Amino acid sequence: MTPLAKLLEAALFASARPIPNDALAQLDPESSPAAVALAMDEIREHYDSEGHGVELIAVGDGWQIMTRPEYTEAIERAQLAARPQRLSGAALETLAIIAYRQPIGRAEIEEIRGVGAGAILKSLQERGLIDVTGRGEGMGRPLLYGTTPLFLEHFALRHLGELPRADELAVALRPAQQTASAQAASAQGAAAQPA
């Protein structure tokens, strides 16, 4: 590996968070952006070709060395990795609404969910997953929410375009909905039969 690739690898290894491209370029001011890009490709190729347990991935606007997916479960089982706090179902639902509809106001979120969202919005904001992106034009100029770079990092996305499309979600959820409908139908059929 080239000296630049070794320097970048050391910085990525030492960081618990993705390092943006511009920060990587600052490590060696004499290197051009093209040289940094080539060094990043060299690191990625090194990990891929030699069968390492880690890989270099693009996350948000930066890069991070991460455990390969096939080893994640064993590492979590051994409790070797620091786990991010889990999000509740309500928090995930609210976060999904914001991610797909941003910028969006609290009233719209509550209308979609059918329940109050104030506490969940506060929690998501404290975790740095969402932030106020502006004010709406409606009465009272309500706050509008959007996702943050930490959201992309948390879900290992490079950009919002990597979120599943609505038609992909419908296909993914269909088996679960059909299974639930079949279970409900069989339960009704069993209840209707005389003993």
The domains of the chain are located at 3-77, 85-189
Q: Give CA separation, 60 vs 99, 151, 161, 162, in Å.
A: 14, 9, 11, 11
Residue 133 CA to chain centroid, in angstroms?
19
> How confident is the model at residue 135, as a pLDDT?
93
> How confident is the model at residue 179, as a pLDDT?
47
Structure tokens at 113: 């969910």
Report the half-sphere exposure of 67 (CA within 13 A, side-chain side). Answer: 12
Structure tokens at 21: 């491209």
CB atoms within 10 A of CB 54: 14
| Residue type at position 82 | A
CATH of 85-189, one of 2.60.40.10, 3.40.50.80, 1.10.10.10, 3.40.50.1950: 1.10.10.10
CATH code of domain 3-77: 1.10.10.10
| Residue type at position 139 | M
Q: Do domains 3-77 and 85-189 have the same CATH topology?
A: yes
Predicted confidence pLDDT, tens digits, the chain (195 residues): 899 999 999 999 988 889 998 899 999 989 998 999 999 999 999 999 888 999 999 888 889 998 888 887 887 777 665 556 788 889 999 999 999 999 999 999 999 999 999 999 999 999 999 999 999 888 889 999 999 998 988 888 888 888 888 777 666 556 545 545 555 555 555 444 544
DSSP state for residue 162 in the 8-state scheme: G
> How confident is the model at residue 184, as a pLDDT?
52
